[in-house]
Structure formats: C-alpha cells, structure tokens
Amino acid sequence: MQNKHLTMHDLPADDRPYEKLLLKGAAALSDAELIAVIMRSGSRRETALGLAQRLLHALSDQASGADAVRDRSDTVVLRRLRDSSVEELTTLPGIGRVKAVQLQAALELGSRVSRGGYLDGRRQVRRPSDVISDLGPDMAALPREELRTVLLDVRQRVIRVCRVGEGGLSGAVIHPRDLFREAVKANAAALILAHNHPSGDASPSAEDIETTRKLVEIGKMMGIQVLDHLVLAAGGSVSLREQGLI
C-alpha cells in the first residue's frame, strides 16, 4: 500500500481542530491546534496536530532559563516560533519550506494586528496605557533594545509612530537630532518616548532617567513637549511620568 500524509481525517471527529474551530470558535483551540489548522497536513508519520505539538515541544526545549523565569506561559514559545527563520524551522523533521512559510505568514499577520489598534487613526492619547496596549506586546518581545516615538498633534492625537533606532536611550547610539527630526517634519506638538528592555525587567536605569530629563529640556527649547517615556518589557511596563521621574 502506498504511503500517504496523515491528515485530520485520521483523527476521531472530536479531536479534529477544523471541526472544533467551526463548532466552538478559534479561541477554543490550543496553540498546537491552531498551528495544525495553519499547516493543513502532517507528514507521512504523523498528523498535523502531532507535528504541531512536536514543533512547540522542540521550541520549548530551546527556551533559556531567563525566558522561563520571565514568562512561564506558552507566550515565550510562540515568540520563538515567530522569530524563527524559514531555514531554522525547516531543520525540524516534517517542517518543509511550505509549512515554514505558512507559519511565518500567519504569525506576521498576528504581529501586525498587535501593532495596530489604538494608535491608528489619529486617536487621542489620554493615558500611558493607551500606548502600552499597542506597542507593548510587539516591543517587549524584541531581542534587542529599540527606541520609538509616538508623535502627537496639539490635541494629543497620534500623527504616527516612528522607529528611531536600536539601542534605547542608554545605548548612546541615538542622537537627539535624530529623535526630534521626524517630530519636526510632522509638525508634532508633543511626543512620547518608548523603548524596550529585552531582559524582561522594565525598571528604568539611571541613564534612562537622566537622558529623558535632558530630552525634556531639549523639547522645551524646540517647542515639542516630551510627555512621557515608557519602558516596555515582558515583565511589565513603566511610565516615567507616572513614577514622578520626569
């Protein structure tokens, strides 16, 4: 008998992710079940669900001690999946280029949704949480420090979000002129700084605080108010303004 790829139809009806999604909705599916739906089929030796479970297990085994302390949920494993290249994914048995591309495309769509939301459409920023809810999930998962600015008009409505560069404020690689350049071009009245701590600890460093205070003063001279500086991490977030640090 000719070998064939095992499919969802080889599973009992109650265990088929497709049917489960149709009956109960996508939110009822586990991470492995969602991945199985995306991949559509398994290998010659296992179903898509079995392959998805093995993929997540392999990524979990790769998690470092720091990751385990920072995030004991399955989120860190999904981040590792998202950040894996096609070449890295295809080193796993049963994952070919097509499946790797399908996974990357689906996860990128999810990332784009998480980056959107409140900061789209010139909405007014009333509190730090308005920015944290949009930038936090994406920036907290970045492997390196990155600095972004949220540019605001006179009514504190979002003009756009700019990526200033890598290194954060304490990285000493970002010049104030680079930080304010886009704000001037956009005729922004104010801005909010945001950078991430890949360590998972959102506590601002002494250099973060000192540099932010200097930028506040530069902003005053330029007529652009620096409203806040948000530090984002997997372990939480900190508003320097709310902490009374600026």
Cα(219)–Cα(237) distance, integer angstroms: 23
Pick from 135, 79, 86: nearest CA to 107 = 79
Helices and strands (H and E) in the chain: how many: 10, 5
Instruction: Report, as ranges of residue numbers, the positions in the chain whose pLDDT lies below 70.
Output: 1-15, 62-76, 111-122, 167-174
Cα(157)–Cα(126) distance, integer angstroms: 9
Could you state, in order of their start, the residue ranges of all structural domains in the chain? 8-114, 121-239
Query: 7 is written with which tokens?
Result: 């499919």
**Predicted local confidence at residue 71, as pLDDT:** 43
Supply the pTM of this predicted model. 0.57
**Predicted local confidence at residue 81, as pLDDT:** 85
**Predicted local confidence at residue 196, as pLDDT:** 93
Is residue 148 classed as helix, strand or coil in its secondary structure? strand
**Predicted local confidence at residue 69, as pLDDT:** 38
Are 148 and 164 in contact, with CB atoms under 8 Å apart?
yes
**Predicted local confidence at residue 179, as pLDDT:** 85
* HSE value, Cβ hemisphere, 13 Å, CA-based, for 196: 24
**Predicted local confidence at residue 217, as pLDDT:** 95
pLDDT digits (tens, 9 = 90+) for 180-225: 988 999 899 999 999 999 999 999 999 999 999 999 999 999 999 9
- CATH architecture, domain defined by 121-239: 3-Layer(aba) Sandwich (3.40)
Read out DSSP for 62-98? H--HHHHHH--STHHHHHHHHH--HHHHTTSTT--HH
The owner of tokens 């909405």 is: 123
